[in-house]
Structure 1
């Protein structure tokens, strides 16, 4: 029985941690686990055998980091590492009891570099790296692929597509979340499920980072909304670092109690991650007959999302219409020039006015829309976290938008023509998007509501045949201008009601089409919007900057008892708040300041404004009184959870643009005082992960400090030598792996022996404040923001 059939009616048991077991077999600190196993295949086979004898169904290959980006640099190939790993897993299965189903899962972990726009690795390059792994896994005979420990939703999407498009293997996907129920890059569990399940994986869930107790609330959220089997592989609690080793605080009995709760919450695929060993798996296996799959009542919602924001489509959900070049010369020109700051500003203004989703259209006659669409989506998503709708009549542009969008989007649109249905619906299904269905066909737009309804039914039926869920279908009953087709306005309203009542799907409508060619369009638009809401419109596409449109929306929420006790309405329209809104509106329409540009992440505007300010103010004044306060405010929003890592980095990169202009100005004046101090950053010996260090570098540089980045896997003597040669006063050391924290301690000890006047701060996922003190560091940095505070404390005291 293949694994997909098995998980329909059975609890599937994975193995436990690999790293800890390899250390017991002789893996040294900083040594590559995949290469150690390549050189010691029998030791790897023995680990698999121990887990199989403990009772697991699935052994996971030792290929977590077996990607070309890492291995090629070390002189090895993906092919040889994967072949060895799969072979050893198969050999182990041959040596154990075969009375229960046994499977081999190819393990694919994060690449180790951040994807654009947060990092420099492109989506396509990430895809190719995962593709190479996946193809080799299928070639050498694995039964499934598990993509695990993903921190970035975009990277997870690239991995899933690489597997789905290049193999016929089942695929499971898990991400890792912190106790704040967000991934490292700010992704929500709900966004993961909406996006990754939509791509057609066979199981979805969470692994690593937390113990059973801390993971349970996240697991419950996932189980409530996932419609496929849920997989959970928890750590053995939260580790304490003792003498450079991670000591986990959950034993096998407590771990099993946690597993019971996962099953009760609705999970049906179980295993162990960091700190677990064969005894943990055996405890579960011995009690497996006491566990039964629990059917959980699901929350079926119409959801669109970015990684950090989910929006449920329900009446009324406002979609902003203004990122559309039709009739907008400034937007047309900015798109042609590849400068998307103008579009981003349009988006931010609409969000401030109340838009929950933004429509994005780049339809211009003299551009390649299929290339422009993914570019503008990436740029907008680097600053704005609300979900986007991909709007195009060009099927290639629509597909490119769906492929490169980070999250779950809406495809606008398909219609009742056979050609449209058969070409667009398969794309929508493949990428797990929602879809807008226009009530027109080969004969155009019917005059009567009943005829439009028949087209709507055809679209819904066909979409469901392709496997698109009902909650992901939005019908547009089409509004036509009353200046030419006045009698048909009421037919649109009738059709909305029929679609809602008889088909049970959501409705969407471009409201302002009603008023083309007549004076005082705002009044007509507002009146029509009010009527459509009363007839059941869920998703009005409007200009939220028009106050009367938002007044209609907000009033409807009160009358419909959505805005309980009129709280939102009163807050928005009392006298004091109204004055604030007026001032805010004026601010939006005035020329942006450098501080606003930084906080919005508008890099093009940042360069010109900084150049202009340098004619009036000194470099230090701009840095100390504008840039740093702006970053401080952004940092506070990051700390409070208002924004997440992508937005923080985008703001920091924007400051970098301004800093480059300032540095250039200083060099022309032979003034090198722009730097407040020099700081060395290094990932310690044996550790090849530098994501965290790179983020710290960006932030520290933007506060006016010069960073000497020594890179990753830095020998102790190099850190000491560079510190002495450059007369460094502050050093930051990073470690992500539990096996390399000893290197951090040894580096600090080496620096102390030189009796230098230098302070050391340390950071990394495996560290805590207590261990930072234990190894002799002066400061513990939990994130990039705290690293900046340490630099300020050290240089500006």
Structure 2
């Protein structure tokens, strides 16, 4: 049954309104607002009079890092801003504490730790609640890990409602590669009060993104769109108020509850929305069983292979990697499984003599930088599980809980708190039951108890347990019976570690493959297997075809088209790796070791030109084609940096000059305080072998010109994120031309386009970090 809900109106843009009232380029709106409270209150009042039910306080950048040089405390700025909004509010208006991104990338893509991000958000949240905010809004977010830190900081330190919105690009991803499905799923699982989109795009471009989000959450949806896309040539936005409101009418088939405006919108836009009196279509739907990373959401409604090899039990290679603290080797094991077909990776680091909690956190962090498949946290220690869940970027599986009361009491609260999925083992205080009916009853008890903790049944995966047939031959049939009962009666996803079935018997792979096929037919969703064994993956691919899961046998054909009957794929465990492969996978130490080996027979320049640069080019092309995303691009660049470091060390030992491909100056222009994009460009250019002079953000024209001339820098890169600072970019370009310094100029940023670059006589427009590297190659030959 579908119900209609009246849409609550949010306000529109604050920054552009303040600029009209005297905010200067580079000045923090929050500090300006503190000194000009009457102006801020008047803007809030205009939105309230236009019909806004919720107004966002002028606190977007009021975090300790942004305010560091202002001399103001977070508490003072936020208290003042909330009071200004309250003055404009009527009896029904709610005032939101508005919190934007911190302005720095979190580890591993940047230097900000998860704990530091959490503390920054915590300080703002507590200040806002103390000042009298009615709700908390995190908006314009792009990094899912930062979103998680923000939500946890709010939930753990406040009782206020929480809204969260991210900013997406036309490819339906944030600039860090996060997809709408993963964001919606995380927000749903962490129990925020509303979720949605804001900024970056106009309503038309946001519609398919919001539709994707709606499939993964029952939360009320928020749309706070831009007034179309900005025109850097005229410093205006594309849409008028009536066009904006008409475009938003197309969203009413979705569960939209909150609509407002972002960049380029004014009180007139909110007044137009008020006149339309829109409603959203509210319908509760079943959210599929899912696990996710920022870039990938995997539904567990069909057969999904969980790789078992990141586990020291019976695995000498993994055991040695843990003892040696060789995270790159563990990552290599992970990648081999993914290449063989694993869609989820089980991660178990329990080994006598090591700190399991610390090692689990380190392994999870490292794997998240290099692979995009979801992870299954495999431990029985609640402290280990919680530490891993807290820093896991996405929605994980926890392996496991069992039917013992103590186990459920310790593990299930963690599952609910962090929004994870959980594997329930069909054993209890009496051990593993011999017959299927008793195992089924344990499974039912685990599910019922999980639901009492508000964990939906789609998040409970039942493991019916595999016992070795060499010792308990009848147990195999009981396991299959339990699978069938769980699937038919409980209708939840099922998990099974397959390989234990054959322990102690010859030709184990034959038994494993046969049992896997039988288990899949009995209702197994998620076999935990070694995907490097070709026979096991062949069974999975065949089953998908025969049960109609692989439509038109497309995946089967793609995998086996080149293989003749009688031939077997031998798997790819511990295949040889080249330096370009190591760079693409982001394996720093592997890249360093391979470079060191190459230096025994190749010159440094040959290695740079013949190996490192082509490898980075390949990664860049994958990034451009959306086969890789920003984290993988940065990881590949960092891996190549390890090779450059090795080359530099050898040259220094030989008393030679360090290799550099050329000198590049980077700066965010005067008045613009945004530099995340510039910082990414810096990382990529440095790892292509260029010497980068980074002048930072809000850089005066004369400093840029002086540095370019004194350092004799041939390529200048200028960045601007705000339309209001484009004038400073043009002024900088004119000054560089006027001083007759022989250089090329590339420009980039969210508001910059090729047309604008042509207008201001820049030599190049760099749309992203990869483009800047291509431009550098052209300039330096």
- Shorter-chain TM-score above 0.5: yes
Instruction: Give 1:282 shift.
Output: 0.7
> What is the DSSP-based 3-state SS (H/G/I as helix, E as strand, rest coil) of the residue aligned with 1:616?
coil
576, 582, 597: which is aligned to 1:597? 582
C-alpha contact (below 8 Å) 1:57/1:103 kept by paired residues: yes
Would you tell me which structure has more helix in proportion to its own residues?
A: 1
Mapped to 2, the partners of 1:448 and 1:603 lie a distance apart of 50
C-alpha contact (below 8 Å) 1:225/1:298 kept by paired residues: no
- The residue number in structure 1 matching 2:175 is 184
C-alpha contact (below 8 Å) 2:534/2:568 kept by paired residues: no
**1:569–1:9 CA distance, 2 compared to 1 (3 A):** closer
Structure 2 residue 349 is the aligned partner of structure 1 residue 358? no
Which residues of 2 match residues 266-305 of structure 1 at below 5 A? Answer: 266-288=255-277, 291-296=278-283, 298=285, 300-305=287-292
Structure 2 residue 769 is the aligned partner of structure 1 residue 780? no
Q: What CA RMSD, in Å, does the superposition of the two structures yield over aligned residues?
A: 1.7
C-alpha contact (below 8 Å) 2:333/2:574 kept by paired residues: no
Q: More deviation in 159-168 or 666-675? A: 666-675
Structure 2 residue 195 is the aligned partner of structure 1 residue 204? yes
**1:590–1:224 CA distance, 2 compared to 1 (3 A):** closer
Mapped to 2, the partners of 1:396 and 1:194 lie a distance apart of 25
C-alpha contact (below 8 Å) 2:336/2:574 kept by paired residues: no
709, 714, 722: which is aligned to 1:724? 709
C-alpha contact (below 8 Å) 2:5/2:281 kept by paired residues: no
- The residue number in structure 2 matching 1:3 is none
- The residue number in structure 2 matching 1:163 is 154
C-alpha contact (below 8 Å) 2:169/2:200 kept by paired residues: yes
> What is the DSSP-based 3-state SS (H/G/I as helix, E as strand, rest coil) of the residue aligned with 2:232?
strand
C-alpha contact (below 8 Å) 2:369/2:632 kept by paired residues: yes
> What is the DSSP-based 3-state SS (H/G/I as helix, E as strand, rest coil) of the residue aligned with 2:214?
helix
Deviations 1:757-781 (A, max 9, x none): 1111001111111112222211100
- The residue number in structure 2 matching 1:153 is 144
Which residues of 2 match residues 62-81 of structure 1 at below 5 A? Answer: 62-81=58-77
C-alpha contact (below 8 Å) 1:63/1:85 kept by paired residues: yes
C-alpha contact (below 8 Å) 2:421/2:460 kept by paired residues: yes
Instruction: Give 1:342 shift.
Output: 0.9
744, 748, 763: which is aligned to 2:748? 763
- The residue number in structure 1 matching 2:515 is 528
Which residues of 2 match residues 45-194 of structure 1 at below 5 A? Answer: 45-93=41-89, 96=90, 98=91, 101-194=92-185
> What is the DSSP-based 3-state SS (H/G/I as helix, E as strand, rest coil) of the residue aligned with 1:70?
coil
Q: TM (normalized to structure 1)?
A: 0.96
Instruction: Give 1:563 shift.
Output: 2.0
Instruction: Give 1:576 shift.
Output: 5.3
Q: TM (normalized to structure 2)?
A: 0.97
Instruction: Give 1:328 shift.
Output: 2.4
**1:92–1:219 CA distance, 2 compared to 1 (3 A):** same
454, 461, 464: which is aligned to 1:474? 461
> What is the DSSP-based 3-state SS (H/G/I as helix, E as strand, rest coil) of the residue aligned with 2:611?
helix
Q: More deviation in 473-482 or 262-271? A: 262-271
- The residue number in structure 2 matching 1:22 is 18
673, 696, 699: which is aligned to 2:681? 696
Mapped to 2, the partners of 1:577 and 1:209 lie a distance apart of 50
Instruction: Give 1:533 shift.
Output: 0.4
Q: More deviation in 664-673 or 193-202? A: 664-673
Q: More deviation in 740-749 or 79-88? A: 740-749
Structure 2 residue 448 is the aligned partner of structure 1 residue 461? yes
Instruction: Give 1:334 shift.
Output: 2.2
Instruction: Give 1:789 shift.
Output: 0.7
Instruction: Give 1:8 shift.
Output: 10
Q: More deviation in 439-448 or 334-343? A: 334-343
Q: Give the gaps of 5 or more residues in structure 2.
A: none
- The residue number in structure 1 matching 2:721 is 736
> What is the DSSP-based 3-state SS (H/G/I as helix, E as strand, rest coil) of the residue aligned with 1:486?
coil
> What is the DSSP-based 3-state SS (H/G/I as helix, E as strand, rest coil) of the residue aligned with 1:71?
coil
Instruction: Give 1:700 shift.
Output: 1.2
208, 211, 220: which is aligned to 1:217? 208
C-alpha contact (below 8 Å) 2:138/2:164 kept by paired residues: yes
C-alpha contact (below 8 Å) 1:315/1:533 kept by paired residues: no
Instruction: Give 1:299 shift.
Output: 5.5
> What is the DSSP-based 3-state SS (H/G/I as helix, E as strand, rest coil) of the residue aligned with 1:225?
coil
- The residue number in structure 2 matching 1:39 is 35
Instruction: Give 1:636 shift.
Output: 0.9
Deviations 1:602-660 (A, max 9, x none): 11112222112111110011110011111111111111111110011001000001101
Q: More deviation in 570-579 or 216-225? A: 570-579
Q: More deviation in 214-223 or 739-748? A: 739-748
Deviations 1:322-357 (A, max 9, x none): 011112233223223332111111111111111111
Mapped to 1, the partners of 2:319 and 2:723 lie a distance apart of 52
Deviations 1:124-164 (A, max 9, x none): 10000000000001101111000000011110110000000
Mapped to 1, the partners of 2:227 and 2:387 lie a distance apart of 42
> What is the DSSP-based 3-state SS (H/G/I as helix, E as strand, rest coil) of the residue aligned with 1:68?
coil
> What is the DSSP-based 3-state SS (H/G/I as helix, E as strand, rest coil) of the residue aligned with 1:722?
helix
- The residue number in structure 2 matching 1:612 is 597
**1:674–1:113 CA distance, 2 compared to 1 (3 A):** same
Mapped to 2, the partners of 1:578 and 1:693 lie a distance apart of 54
- The residue number in structure 2 matching 1:407 is 394
Instruction: Give 1:581 shift.
Output: 8.6
- The residue number in structure 1 matching 2:316 is 329
Mapped to 2, the partners of 1:304 and 1:777 lie a distance apart of 45
C-alpha contact (below 8 Å) 2:24/2:671 kept by paired residues: no
Mapped to 2, the partners of 1:156 and 1:116 lie a distance apart of 13
Instruction: Give 1:580 shift.
Output: 11
Instruction: Give 1:183 shift.
Output: 0.6
**1:581–1:276 CA distance, 2 compared to 1 (3 A):** farther
> What is the DSSP-based 3-state SS (H/G/I as helix, E as strand, rest coil) of the residue aligned with 1:237?
coil
C-alpha contact (below 8 Å) 2:652/2:658 kept by paired residues: no
Mapped to 1, the partners of 2:149 and 2:4 lie a distance apart of 26
Instruction: Give 1:178 shift.
Output: 0.4
Q: Give the gaps of 5 or more residues in structure 1.
A: 1-6
Instruction: Give 1:578 shift.
Output: 9.2
Mapped to 2, the partners of 1:271 and 1:390 lie a distance apart of 40
Mapped to 2, the partners of 1:579 and 1:640 lie a distance apart of 37
Deviations 1:286-312 (A, max 9, x none): 222xx2231346353111010001111
- The residue number in structure 2 matching 1:4 is none
Instruction: Give 1:365 shift.
Output: 1.8
C-alpha contact (below 8 Å) 2:5/2:282 kept by paired residues: no
Paired positions, count: 779
> What is the DSSP-based 3-state SS (H/G/I as helix, E as strand, rest coil) of the residue aligned with 2:704?
helix
283, 288, 293: which is aligned to 1:306? 293
227, 230, 240: which is aligned to 1:236? 227
> What is the DSSP-based 3-state SS (H/G/I as helix, E as strand, rest coil) of the residue aligned with 1:549?
helix
Mapped to 2, the partners of 1:131 and 1:676 lie a distance apart of 44
Mapped to 2, the partners of 1:716 and 1:669 lie a distance apart of 40
> What is the DSSP-based 3-state SS (H/G/I as helix, E as strand, rest coil) of the residue aligned with 1:755?
coil
